Homo-oligomer: A and B are copies of this chain.
Amino acid sequence: MRDVAVIGVGKTSFGAFPDRDLRSLAVEAGEKALKNGHVAPSQIESFYLGNFAGPSFVGQNHLAPYVSTALGIQGVPATRIEAACASSGSAFFHGWSEVASGVNDIVMVAGVEKMTSQTTARVSQILAEAGDCSGEMRAGNTFASLFAMIARRHMHDFGTKKEHLSAVAVKNHANGALNPDAHMRKVITLEQALNAKPIAEPLNLYDCSLISDGAAAAILVPLERAREFTDKPVRVLGIAQASDYVALDQKDDITTFPAVRRAGEKAYRMAGVSPKDIQFAELHDCFTIAEIIATEDLGFVARGEGGPYAFEGRTARTGERPVNTSGGLKAKGHPVGATGVGQIFDLVQQIRCEAGGRQIPRHSLGLAQNLGGSGATCVVTILGAA
């Protein structure tokens, strides 16, 4: 396999954009990535699009050529990948694989979702289709209630406290407030986080990520060609996709995600690094408990220690290993299909020292973890300075 580099990235702001359609968002991100990577559309040899539920959200399917042709990318394979909230993480994995294996040299991977044109109730229903609709969801669950069960069990087994969950929200809101492209730029206090409106006990409003519109894109080439395009290439050191049961009730233990552990282990092995080497990370905080469990499953701390780890500020922007300096899904926003490549964008910004007010001092080795559903898909990517 060849070494692979990210040479260009682009992203729209994440937010609620009633005047924008899905395609215009994807095209904005794609054009920014082309410009950033000094690549012409005609040079792109393969195009991947991560999108979770365009047909349900905006009534448009067959989305890959729909977007690629609007970007001026003609003729080459244009492939949409759907893997719930890990759709564009998976698309990035397949784009990487294509370059690493020598199938193609210049590959664009984009992700997009346009969610805010639907009511919140309808959005919940569409999201629920990433769970098992013949079982857990038919019984009346939403993802909030599934992650509430996960949180309760984590509290029961490990003594995790509501304060620990709220600390994640407070941290990610603080980071998001510094991100000009974040959906919600609002600092909150621990008290506010603790006392917000309940959604599914023990999760309240501030434990849940946002419903957003947005898109992100990245361009991959063989590392050996990277400097033809940019003097700031970022290297893909390790990457893996793994899967598990869709239904929570099929899992032996709901306080850990085997797909995250598996993808993490494979990515670490490929990169030749261990969890302690990771300097910062973008983790999939669809709910605050998910970030806590991710820090455990990825080996940043031992099982059950994720709550105190966050509460003690060790994952803060000024902590030993900053997590979600972008604001995370919690404050940056979570346009589902865009989130995976959005995380790649955020890692690249930090590694290139372009993160503005959020820039952290140790930024040469970062990890992104993109989760689908309640753990049925996970993609872990480790990026480093080239």
Contact = CB atoms under 8 A, between A and B. Distances in A.
A144 to B, nearest CB: 17
A219 interface: no
A377 interface: yes
18 contacts: A21-B134, A47-B243, A55-B55, A56-B61, A60-B129, A60-B132, A61-B82, A62-B131, A63-B82, A65-B376, A69-B250, A69-B376, A75-B244, A75-B258, A75-B259, A76-B242, A77-B243, A101-B101
Contacts of A63: 82
Contacts of A370: none
Interface residues of A, number: 60
A79 B69 contact: no
Contacts of A145: none
B76 A129 contact: no
A75 B245 CA distance: 9
Interface in A54-102: 55-56, 58-66, 68-69, 74-84, 90, 93-94, 97-98, 100-102
Interface of A: 1, 21, 23, 47, 52-53, 55-56, 58-66, 68-69, 74-84, 90, 93-94, 97-98, 100-103, 126, 129-134, 241-246, 250, 258-259, 262, 372-373, 376-377
A34 to B, nearest CB: 17
B62 A83 contact: yes
Q: Which 8 A-B pairs have the closest CB atoms?
A: A101-B101, A61-B129, A77-B241, A62-B84, A65-B376, A78-B243, A62-B130, A65-B243
B55 A129 contact: yes
Nearest to A100: B103
Contacts of A52: 61
Main secondary structure of the interface of A (DSSP, over half): mixed
Contacts of A262: 75
Stoichiometry, as copies per complex, reads: 2
A62 B94 contact: no
Contact of A80 (B83, B132, B373): B83
Contacts of A103: 1, 97, 100-101
Given A66-B246, A75-B259, A101-B103, A133 B82 contact: no
Nearest to A259: B75
B79 A241 contact: yes
Contacts of A77: 90, 93, 241-243
Contacts of A90: 77, 79
B55 A243 contact: no
Nearest to A98: B97
Contacts of A245: 65, 69
A262 B77 CA distance: 11
A59 B94 contact: no
Contact of A130 (B47, B61, B134): B61
A194 B31 CA distance: 50
A81 B81 contact: yes
Given A66-B376, A79-B94, A81-B81, A60 B134 contact: yes
A77 B262 CA distance: 11
Contacts of A78: 243, 377
Nearest to A54: B129
A102 B246 CA distance: 28
